[in-house]
Structure 1
């Protein structure tokens, strides 16, 4: 019986690889469906190609909507050209493509979902018979999502009216079955408490940890950037104030700013010009980059990032990790970000520190 992995981001794919090995699934029985956007798609395809973990790799927008095996590459040049038109790459056609995949594979053993509240992933889980739905980490959102499920919250709090209307439109016009599963398994690196109907399986990155390469170690500090100002968790002005303080904190060291793909190009240019920091955008998730590609720093730092959790598990005492706390967090994110820092406190050690005064 096949297992299906639905991913939107490189980090979801990295966690999918860990899940595949944890649940001891053979490559031939695993179908990877890539649902990335313009920014994440190249990284997803590169990582999928490099790791060679899957029996089938399918880009959702390339699934044949009309006939034949939906998992095969379209050979008919006319049909291929038609389906490459921008019109047919709109999310409106996702349902038809997912329906064809579901009908073709029949029952699935496991369905792994990378983005817990992505309506199209939920749709696939709802139309496909399966033994279990397993949720993969994508950032620190698993902490909040587990809490909301425990509270019985179906829709995200503070969701915008426009987003809510668009969801109802997808249900009415596209036939999306976007309801969330009654019970799920969290495959997570976080210490979370779940509803009685849900389960937790701890992701300790054992597979990636067992394949860490001997790489060059850099004396530079790698600071993991974040789109905190882009999503209005802190203002951009305060974000730069924090970075300036961190620069002074590491006054005798060179800081390499690891950009997040969701950070605005304008902001990254200001980080270069105003703070005089070297800005780098990796082709791979940072966990894979540091474990398999290199170089690896002696110190890894950030404000809040899922990479701090995963790198703590992967590298242990070999990598010093620092989380810098944030003040002036904008509502409604105060509680959510506070919960992340609370989780960090549970594993502070000589190699993992939280710095509040800097």
Structure 2
């Protein structure tokens, strides 16, 4: 009888987290049993569908098994039972990766036995939550109100967690696993042609931060700075308005070169996480413009 293979569990709730989960899987656990749980938040139907489509597009066939969990009101009430079933099917994990700390993710972090907890990039906001908790662990831990019986929503102990990240965090080196997208880069075969344009990845700053942005002025600044003939404006999945020729990509930003078959002279944004991932993957600069 052959010994069972090590088991790893990855928790993701955004398309970027799915991508980073696959990067960690293929880099460290290629011969293991790897399970993926993707949470779909209860946003408006249109936005939820859009994010779900991007997440599905980023999921490949190399997962041992994948669960897509739609967080409706009923499914959230019944989540302790869902967590119990997952624990029975998965068992003890060598590594448990999480890209966030939503209520259901926290519950699984407490429910699924694991040897090592690893936090991976899901955007700077997720990392900031984890880093702040890591720094204050052991001094005071505030439990969230238990809204659902049998569901543990407290932030887990992160004092021994490690961080798989492309960000330069002010933490001890032994806590950091640098993510340079070395596995994803191998998919970029050959040298892609470069077009005379800048691709700008927009963000829902008015919705999220209440900021009014002069888009025309931003485009003018982008073209002047890079001396380009065109600015291709890409809306965020949660955005609905932009320039007349704005568009939404049917795939994650990190897949741009692979799917479009070319690269711009530069990428640009305000403060998106693509400022970290795209240079690592494609070697093209990303310019962050002032808000």
TM-score by length of 1: 0.68
Deviations 1:20-57 (A, max 9, x none): 1221332x601111112423111212221xx3220111
Alignment of 1:340-355 (within 5 A): none
Query: Do structure 1's residue 20 and structure 2's residue 25 form an aligned pair?
Result: yes
Query: Do structure 1's residue 98 and structure 2's residue 80 form an aligned pair?
Result: no
Residue matched to 2:208: 231
Alignment of 1:237-316 (within 5 A): 237=213, 242-243=218-219, 245-246=221-222, 249=225, 253-263=229-239, 265=240, 267-268=241-242, 271-272=243-244, 278-316=245-283
Shift of 1:184: 1.0
Query: Please, which of 282, 305, 322 is the counterpart of residue 287 of structure 2?
Result: 322
Once residues 226 and 30 of structure 1 are traced to their aligned partners in structure 2, the CA distance between those partners, rounded to angstroms, is 32
- Number of residues of Structure 1 aligned to a counterpart in Structure 2: 274
Shift of 1:153: 7.0
Shift of 1:169: 4.2
Q: 1:96 to 1:178 in 2, by over 3 A?
A: farther
Residue matched to 1:108: 93
Query: Please, which of 148, 161, 182 is the counterpart of residue 132 of structure 2?
Result: 148
Residue matched to 1:209: 185
Residue matched to 1:139: 123
Residue matched to 1:35: 39
Once residues 85 and 219 of structure 2 are traced to their aligned partners in structure 1, the CA distance between those partners, rounded to angstroms, is 48
Shift of 1:112: 0.9
* Higher Cα radius of gyration: 1
Query: Please, which of 49, 52, 61 is the counterpart of residue 52 of structure 1?
Result: 61
CA contact (8 A) 2:87 2:111 kept: yes
Once residues 239 and 125 of structure 1 are traced to their aligned partners in structure 2, the CA distance between those partners, rounded to angstroms, is 41
Once residues 248 and 137 of structure 2 are traced to their aligned partners in structure 1, the CA distance between those partners, rounded to angstroms, is 36
Shift of 1:187: 0.2
Unaligned ranges ≥5, structure 2: 1-5, 42-47
Residue matched to 1:75: none
Q: 1:235 to 1:121 in 2, by over 3 A?
A: same
Which structure features the higher share of helix residues? 1
Deviations 1:206-251 (A, max 9, x none): 001122134443322100111222111x512456654554456567
Unaligned ranges ≥5, structure 1: 63-85, 155-163, 273-277, 327-358
Once residues 201 and 15 of structure 2 are traced to their aligned partners in structure 1, the CA distance between those partners, rounded to angstroms, is 16
CA contact (8 A) 2:106 2:156 kept: yes
Shift of 1:204: 0.5
Residue matched to 1:71: none
Alignment of 1:171-190 (within 5 A): 172-182=148-158, 183-190=160-167
Deviations 1:106-126 (A, max 9, x none): 2111111011x2121121111
Give the match's secondary structure for 2:183. Answer: helix
Q: Note the aligned Cα RMSD (angstroms).
A: 2.9
CA contact (8 A) 2:163 2:177 kept: yes
Residue matched to 2:170: 193
Once residues 4 and 292 of structure 1 are traced to their aligned partners in structure 2, the CA distance between those partners, rounded to angstroms, is 28
Q: 1:216 to 1:247 in 2, by over 3 A?
A: closer
Residue matched to 2:44: none
Deviations 1:266-322 (A, max 9, x none): x33xx32xxxxx212112221122235433212111111211211111122xx2321
CA contact (8 A) 1:302 1:323 kept: yes
Deviations 1:65-108 (A, max 9, x none): xxxxxxxxxxxxxxxxxxxxx664x4222332122101222211
Give the match's secondary structure for 2:206. Answer: coil
TM-score by length of 2: 0.82
